[in-house]
Amino acid sequence: MKVLFFVRHYSYLRLFESAIDALAARGHQVTLAADHSEVMGGRQMVERLAARYPGITVADAPGRHSGAWAELARKIRLGLDHLRFLDPVYDRTPHLRARARDRAPRLTVALAESFIGPGPVRAVLGALERGLPAFAGTLRFLRTERPDVVLITPLVDIGSLQVSHMAAARTLGLRVVLPVGSWDHLSSKSLLRDIPDRVIVWNESQRREAVDLHGVPAGRVVVTGAQAYDQWFGRGPVRPRSEFCHRVGLPADRPFLLYACSSLFRGTVYEPAFVEQWIQAVRASDDPRVRDLPILVRPHPARLDEWSEVDLTGYKDVVLWGAHPVDDEAKADYFDSMYYSAGVVGVNTSAFIEAACVGKPVHAVLLPEISKTNQEGTLHFHYLLEVNGGLLYTTRSLAEHVRSLSGALVGEGGGDPRAARFVDGFVRPFGRDQAATPRFVEAVEAAATLPAPAPVGRGVAGLLGYLAVLPMAVALAANLRTQPWRKRTRNRLRKGYQRRQAELFRWIK
């Protein structure tokens, strides 16, 4: 079997590493193709996989498309993605709605909010999207690879280039699978407008999202469990506690708290400031068992820039430490930091789920200024509150949170009952001893044996859509060609105006 796996960037494949390893071990050929470069170690991770298995190939996807057609496709899709968040289900997620609105073309926003309404705008944009031609580079890449099945993730990014990959695969009659990469992808991003042959999800919550929010036929959804977290089951620490604490810089004679940072919406919460506020609240506790707890702050690998000028050395027994877990050493460090902690604290992060796999109590403070955007102001966060009674120990103030800590801490190795129940419902729905990776691999193998779909031609509707978008692409191409000249002209005029103003000012003086 030949598998072609499109990802946004190689670090996404951290979520599928065990599955790729298992596919290759079973003799399948796997090509891993990323749309964008990144600096979080993902490329090195997939190159290590390729060195281990001759059947794994690392190949950059056709370059980021540029030009009029690509820009027009992006604008049309951003307009359609905005319309998704006008659904009443997003009334309680104002930031998700505002984010999509800000990215959409102003004309489509104005029309959707006018007396015309979103329905006709959606119909027009949908027709225009069907008229977009498949990118030639992607078609050539697919013809060269000749895969039995194409996996695309996350696919649902707002304004995603990956929609073009799917359109090209449909043009060639290839089987397409969406393996859902994370717990928020089906609820916080764009809507599936072309339904894949199979959608692989973790649990019943995601299955309902696929069916109810995206309109995927129930027969196309396969529940496998969360293969991304198989690596945290059945393993032990690499180092003794004393050695780990020495490595990190924490005292080994007391329990410690792990604060796991989040990938929050840009422009909403400056997490380093909240972390300092939280540390001060812990240090002000009336309970000496809490007040004197050492603290390990683990930065989010995609938000390291926020910590570049933050100094936590003024706080006793507080350390900022941790790397992106894409190699064996970083994974061991991450696991040990969870295993030896007495509890995990954060805002809204997948580290909560990983901590649950290790059996740790997970705490979150639902402050109004944070929760309305990054916690209760999303759909996926509610799973942490509801599935099998909920994972999180939540409070509405830092003072209440600090008081609750002393009652919900555990020793090394875990044992929190909420974590155990949550894992049973969200991570391993077929049983705690049932790994997800084999089921994921079987789902991909089964998808590759499906009858090949008929190649999707343009058809009458597509031809009409193409005739409609062609003048737009021509106009946009002319605009893009003259854009540098217009920018230089504006700069010259602005500098000339500023120079004349300065001369006039000197003359008046």
Pick the CATH number of 234-427 from 3.40.50.2000, 3.60.150.10, 3.20.20.70, 3.40.50.1820: 3.40.50.2000
Q: What is the pLDDT of residues 82-125, one digit of tens each?
A: 999 999 999 999 999 999 999 999 999 999 999 999 999 999 99
pLDDT exceeding 70 applies to what percent of the chain?
93
Listed ranges 10-14, 163-167, 219-223; the one with the highest mean pLDDT = 219-223
| Residue 383 pLDDT greater than 50, yes or no | yes
Q: Is the torsion defined by CA of 359, 45, 238, 348 positive or negative?
A: negative
Domain ranges of the chain: 2-64+138-230+439-448, 66-134+458-509, 234-427
Q: Among 230-239, 331-340, 403-412, which stretch is predicted with the lowest mean pLDDT?
A: 403-412
DSSP 8-class letter at 148: S
Position 77, amino acid: R
d(CA 369, CA 89): 21
Nearest to 146 by CA among 177, 116, 173: 173
| Residue 481 pLDDT greater than 80, yes or no | no
Q: What is the pLDDT of residues 147-174, one digit of tens each?
A: 999 999 999 999 888 999 999 999 999 9
Q: Is 272 helix (H, G, I), strand (E, B) or coil?
A: helix
Q: How many CA atoms lie within 13 A of 490 on its CB side?
A: 6
Asked if 418 contacts 361 with a C-beta cutoff of 8 angstroms, the reply is yes
Asked if 321 contacts 298 with a C-beta cutoff of 8 angstroms, the reply is yes
Asked if 179 contacts 153 with a C-beta cutoff of 8 angstroms, the reply is yes
- Kindly state the tokens that stand for 282: 């812990």
d(CA 332, CA 260): 16
In this structure, the strands spanning 29-34 and 2-7 are parallel
Asked if 444 contacts 3 with a C-beta cutoff of 8 angstroms, the reply is yes
Q: State pTM to two decimals.
A: 0.90
Question: Pick the residue with more confidence: 423 or 467?
Answer: 423
CA 452 to chain CA centroid, nearest Å: 30
Q: How many CB atoms lie within 10 A of CB 106?
A: 9
| Residue 411 pLDDT greater than 70, yes or no | yes
In the structure, what pLDDT confidence band is assigned to residue 485 with cuts at 50, 70 and 90?
A: very low
pLDDT for 421 equals 97
| Residue 487 pLDDT greater than 60, yes or no | no
In the structure, what pLDDT confidence band is assigned to residue 472 with cuts at 50, 70 and 90?
A: confident
Q: Is the torsion defined by CA of 481, 482, 485, 491 positive or negative?
A: negative
Q: What is the pLDDT of residues 225-271, one digit of tens each?
A: 999 999 999 999 999 999 999 999 999 999 999 999 999 888 888 99
| Residue 307 pLDDT greater than 80, yes or no | yes
CATH class for domain 2-64+138-230+439-448?
Answer: alpha beta
DSSP 8-class letter at 218: G
pLDDT for 474 equals 79
> 85 CB contacts (<8 Å, ≥6 apart)?
93, 96, 97, 100, 101
Q: Is 280 helix (H, G, I), strand (E, B) or coil?
A: helix
Position 324, amino acid: H
> 352 CB contacts (<8 Å, ≥6 apart)?
260, 344, 346, 362, 364, 384, 391, 392
